[in-house]
Structure 1
Amino acid sequence: MFDQKSTPITKSQYLQYLRCNNAFHLVKDGIVPKPSSASYGGYLEWGDFLKLCRDQFSDATSIDKTLEKEESFQKTEKLILEKKSIFHAHLRFKEFVSTVEYLEYDNEREGWILWDFRPIGSIKQDIMRSLYFHKQVAEGMSLNILGYKLIRIQTKYIYPGGPIQPEDYLLIEDITPRMESELGTRADEWNQFQEELERTKGQTVLYSFLDSKPSCRSLKTCLSPIHCAKGKENAKEIFDFRDSSELAKQWFALGYESYESVPDSELTPIQKIQKQAHITGDIYFDRKSFETYLSNVTKSVAFLDFESINPYLPLYPQTRPFQHVPYLYSLHIWDRENDTLIHKTYLHKDLETDPRVPVMAQLQKDLPPGITVFSFNDFFEKLIIQEAAEAYPEFLEFWERVKSMFIDLAMPFKKLWIYHPGQNGKASLKEILPCFSTESHGGLSIREGQDANYQYLRLIKKQVTAEEKKRVLEDLIAYCKLDSYGLFLIYRMLQERLSVI
């Protein structure tokens, strides 16, 4: 029977344990709050995806999400006794509780099939672990589990327009053979979990960043360094070393707690650059590499940034699930000889229509031919234009003209041709910009691309008031504008260094 006095252990807690048992205990014992698992925009599409999945089954009963927990458990138990297939089934055994997307009864074989619905393109390990958790709870309730099935997204699906056809969009898989092949691994994980619960029952948990297995790779991602690395919680900076991975953990075990403390003999050339910059406070600059890197740059240059949505339920014909569809760009054009900077932007405000043609048509007009185009991680910008040209051949000539003109402004920072101690090992635009200018994304309402994606999707889904829509559109333009302006500031800084060093 379920112990009402104990704290229920959920699937998410089990998955947390498999990532880090320190974190599992910290959350379970209420020492730190549960980490947020919310992702931008997911709930905006989940309902429609869930309906497509559920429509595959004609004879099933759904547990209403508005019911109290105890009522949900009782209703599930009643339906199980009646051998009914159940959406959102609530299971419990001892201190474990589990919610299964679909619990299907197989009349012929007199047993149950566990289903999971996931808006993803590939089968990840957490899915297998989740299904194994459901299996343990269900079998604890004496249910005969026959197999495991998954509904996910067919990533090669190309949306033709009109209502999405589930038979083309959804991929329904029987993953019982894979589960059976992995049962040994899953059983070992479960047994270790049981041993951990037994070992710590009524005991004080001793937290250790080093001894806990599995555990965080980095003290910077640790849920509570004050518990897991007591007295050394400020040793995070050794985890800022580029490409350190498990090495940083070994350094921590040896007692190294700062950049200065790690011997040069332990470091790669790039890590030595970082160490020296942090000791001296000076910016590292590899003039020779930059002279080669910028040797073919035109006198006038452009700085381009796109914002896009990548819904898993395609909105526009000839797009795939998760494909990035541009709705906004910001373009700064700098004439270095005259030191003039021009800004051009386009935001697609007609939320009922496909933004690709208007975006590309305007960009084609705004971007002067034959000039260097800088983007940050330019693979994204080039992919946006290439996919638009493949869908709309009228832009193929434009794509052929511009693709060789791109230069990735992220490359020098990734390769450490330049390094500012304030970067703390990072190479993102958000981290770099405040180090080399007075500008920062910190004062904006929208501060990252994921949020921009989410906000525009909210507009499309009509999740905003008219007043809020106006504000969101303005915020999107401001965010994208700072990204391309930031590229200009960084490039100008590089040119100034080349001219004076």
Structure 2
Amino acid sequence: MFDQPVTPVTKSQFLQYLRCNNAFHLVKEGIVPKPSSSSYGGYLEWGDFLQLCRNQFPTSVTIDKTMDREESFLKTQEWILEKKSIFHAHLRYNHFVSTVEYLEYDPERDGWILWDFRPIGSVKQDILRSFYFHKQVAEGMSLNILGYKLIRIQTKYLFPGGSITPEDYLLIEDITPRMESEAGTRAEEWRQFQEEVERTNGQSVRFSFLDSKRSCRSLKTCLSPNHCAAGKENAKEIFDFRDSSELAKQWFASGYHSYETVPDSELTPIQKIQKQAHITGNTYFDRTAFENYLTNVTKTVAFLDFESINPYIPLYPNTRPFQHIPYLYSLHIWDTENDTLTHKTYLHEDLGTDPRVPVMAQLQKDLPEGITVFSFNDFFEKLIIQETSTAFPEFLEFWERVKSLFIDLAMPFKKLWIYHPGQNGKASLKEILPCFSTESHGGLSIREGQDANYQYLRLIKKQMTAEEKKRVLEDLKAYCKLDSYGLFLIYRMLLERLSVI
């Protein structure tokens, strides 16, 4: 099949094309590197998940990942002829290559079933598209494809402790009916893809942001604005307008390439606030909104931030897949009358045990009764306390006592009661903090929650040296401390504005 050297077309390229045809060509031609699709901690659990899936098929053979590409194709072809079911089967037809998690032979119907294993809780479009790509390659090899099956995670599974019970944890779904019902859509996507591959084979490609797929909505996520919006790269700022979505693409097509050029008549009240702030360089502040927002705040206030892991393979009894398990908190307590700031923290270092009870027990001691608790997107902090108290009823009274005391410090920034042009349309703590203080997460070793999650999972799974462990524990505490300290700085800034403006 490969008498002449050709560049193989892979499933990931097909999926990239369906998201953005510009990105497909940029990557295929080596103009930009392939975007990373890996999550921080996913691979730490992948091996265990894969083994649980493979254990459902004890008599199958496996294409070893140590084989080179040509050897893996030939070995797959050999086992197909022997009608063996194959893990990690390597398929190719013409210039298309495909790796199937599991290719199962059905002797009764003399055909093959395509399987995929995904550590997810729901079926997404990319899974169906992946199956269709595998199908096209397999049928090109004259394989009789009978159906499609998926093993994913049963998100309602409650881990009882001990060993994972695969029959309860794994959800096996027959995707065949859905594939058949959407066959027309999938066939049209495939037809367009093949046409694009043939049309551009050996030809120069015209890159244009406006010609890209609908899913490519923003120049901010474009792989290469220098190619897709040549000469207009700075137009990215109009995609910072809040709630603009597809509208910003229409503005770009109309020739609006900066905050100033978008007419007020096309902007919402919030977007007008943004525009004015960027033109003048001044911070917008809605005094009335803040006076109402802070009406019932106590004189002493707390600023709370949790860090958690959310493994898809549960680690502790009475937890579900993807459930957030707190292992660290940082608590700053500010007495506004005496202007004293106290810091409390707890990091669970007994890595072989469930951190929830120790974390909550210490927080219950550290948090004074009856004071306002500020968190950033407080839904998360409240969920942590609520789920822990549900699992451990000794904390129910604590939960009932504190749940009405929370105030979400993200809300004013989401609603644009305050807006600094340096936010560039964003409302995350990482973007806001440098705009209103001299503090920033930029100098930390751990700079975001996903990385903190990943590093603590590494600690649990003993994937670091003793020296590295000591450093990571300190880095985790420093990261969490800055989050709660940042909330204090923001709140103090708001009070100063209310007293001065």
TM-score w.r.t. the length of structure 2 is 0.99
Q: Paired residue for 2:254?
A: 254
Q: Superposed, which structure 2 residues align to 1:56-95 within 5 Å?
A: 56-95=56-95
Q: Paired residue for 2:269?
A: 269
Q: Superposed, which structure 2 residues align to 1:343-358 within 5 Å?
A: 343-358=343-358
Q: How many Å separate the matches in 2 of 1:218 and 1:316?
A: 41
Q: How many Å separate the matches in 2 of 1:146 and 1:443?
A: 55
Q: Paired residue for 2:336?
A: 336
Pair 1:459-2:456 in alignment: no
Whether the aligned pair in 2 keeps the contact of 1:309 and 1:457 (CA below 8 Å) is yes
Q: Paired residue for 1:440?
A: 440
Q: Paired residue for 1:292?
A: 292
**Structure 1 pair 35–408 and aligned structure 2 pair: CA distance change class (3 A):** same
Whether the aligned pair in 2 keeps the contact of 1:2 and 1:92 (CA below 8 Å) is no
Q: Paired residue for 2:114?
A: 114
**Structure 1 pair 311–388 and aligned structure 2 pair: CA distance change class (3 A):** same
Whether the aligned pair in 2 keeps the contact of 1:21 and 1:215 (CA below 8 Å) is no
Aligned residues with identical type, % of pairs: 86
- Per-residue CA distance 1:178-227 (angstroms, 9 max, x = gap): 11001100000000001111111121100000023345100010000000
Pair 1:9-2:14 in alignment: no
Q: How many Å separate the matches in 1 of 2:8 and 2:374?
A: 53
Q: Superposed, which structure 2 residues align to 1:372-383 within 5 Å?
A: 372-383=372-383
Q: Paired residue for 2:469?
A: 469
**Structure 1 pair 3–292 and aligned structure 2 pair: CA distance change class (3 A):** farther
Q: Which amino acid aligns with 2:477?
A: I
- Per-residue CA distance 1:209-268 (angstroms, 9 max, x = gap): 002334510001000000000110111100000000011001101111110010000100
Q: Paired residue for 1:52?
A: 52
Q: How many Å separate the matches in 1 of 2:8 and 2:428?
A: 40
Q: Which amino acid aligns with 1:54?
A: R
Q: Paired residue for 2:326?
A: 326
Pair 1:190-2:190 in alignment: yes
SS of residue matched to 2:373: strand
Q: How many Å separate the matches in 2 of 1:451 and 1:4?
A: 44
Q: 1:58: how far off?
A: 1.7
Q: Which amino acid aligns with 1:223?
A: L
Q: Superposed, which structure 2 residues align to 1:32-431 within 5 Å?
A: 32-214=32-214, 216-431=216-431
SS of residue matched to 2:210: coil
Q: How many pairs are equivalent?
A: 501
Whether the aligned pair in 2 keeps the contact of 1:92 and 1:141 (CA below 8 Å) is yes
Q: Paired residue for 1:20?
A: 20
Q: How many Å separate the matches in 2 of 1:314 and 1:2?
A: 45
Gaps of 5+ in 2: none
- Per-residue CA distance 1:150-177 (angstroms, 9 max, x = gap): 0000000000000100000000011100
Q: How many Å separate the matches in 2 of 1:13 and 1:199?
A: 16
Q: 1:92: how far off?
A: 0.4
Q: How many Å separate the matches in 2 of 1:4 and 1:329?
A: 60
Which is further off, 444-453 or 4-13?
Answer: 4-13
Whether the aligned pair in 2 keeps the contact of 1:283 and 1:419 (CA below 8 Å) is yes
Q: Paired residue for 1:30?
A: 30
Q: How many Å separate the matches in 1 of 2:134 and 2:214?
A: 22
Q: 1:63: how far off?
A: 0.4
Q: How many Å separate the matches in 1 of 2:470 and 2:351?
A: 13
Q: Which amino acid aligns with 2:232?
A: K
Q: 1:38: how far off?
A: 1.5
Q: 1:3: how far off?
A: 5.4
Q: How many Å separate the matches in 2 of 1:101 and 1:210?
A: 36
Q: What root-mean-square deviation, in Å, do the aligned CA atoms of Structure 1 and Structure 2 show?
A: 0.6
Q: How many Å separate the matches in 2 of 1:104 and 1:156?
A: 28
Q: Which amino acid aligns with 2:210?
A: L
- Per-residue CA distance 1:30-60 (angstroms, 9 max, x = gap): 1111111121011100000000000001210
Q: How many Å separate the matches in 1 of 2:44 and 2:321?
A: 15
SS of residue matched to 2:431: helix
Q: How many Å separate the matches in 1 of 2:157 and 2:242?
A: 38
Whether the aligned pair in 2 keeps the contact of 1:102 and 1:116 (CA below 8 Å) is yes
Q: How many Å separate the matches in 2 of 1:317 and 1:465?
A: 27
Q: How many Å separate the matches in 1 of 2:102 and 2:188?
A: 26
TM-score w.r.t. the length of structure 1 is 0.99
Q: How many Å separate the matches in 2 of 1:361 and 1:262?
A: 53
Whether the aligned pair in 2 keeps the contact of 1:17 and 1:23 (CA below 8 Å) is yes
SS of residue matched to 2:368: coil
Q: How many Å separate the matches in 1 of 2:462 and 2:12?
A: 31
Q: How many Å separate the matches in 1 of 2:434 and 2:212?
A: 36
- Per-residue CA distance 1:3-43 (angstroms, 9 max, x = gap): 55111111111000000000000100111111111210111
**Structure 1 pair 102–468 and aligned structure 2 pair: CA distance change class (3 A):** same
Whether the aligned pair in 2 keeps the contact of 1:61 and 1:84 (CA below 8 Å) is yes
- Per-residue CA distance 1:78-102 (angstroms, 9 max, x = gap): 0000000000000001111100000
Whether the aligned pair in 2 keeps the contact of 1:22 and 1:215 (CA below 8 Å) is no
SS of residue matched to 1:302: strand
Q: Which amino acid aligns with 1:36?
A: S
**Structure 1 pair 268–3 and aligned structure 2 pair: CA distance change class (3 A):** farther
SS of residue matched to 1:296: coil
Q: How many Å separate the matches in 1 of 2:119 and 2:431?
A: 31
Whether the aligned pair in 2 keeps the contact of 1:2 and 1:93 (CA below 8 Å) is no
Q: Paired residue for 1:493?
A: 493
Q: How many Å separate the matches in 2 of 1:153 and 1:229?
A: 41
Q: Which amino acid aligns with 1:207?
A: F
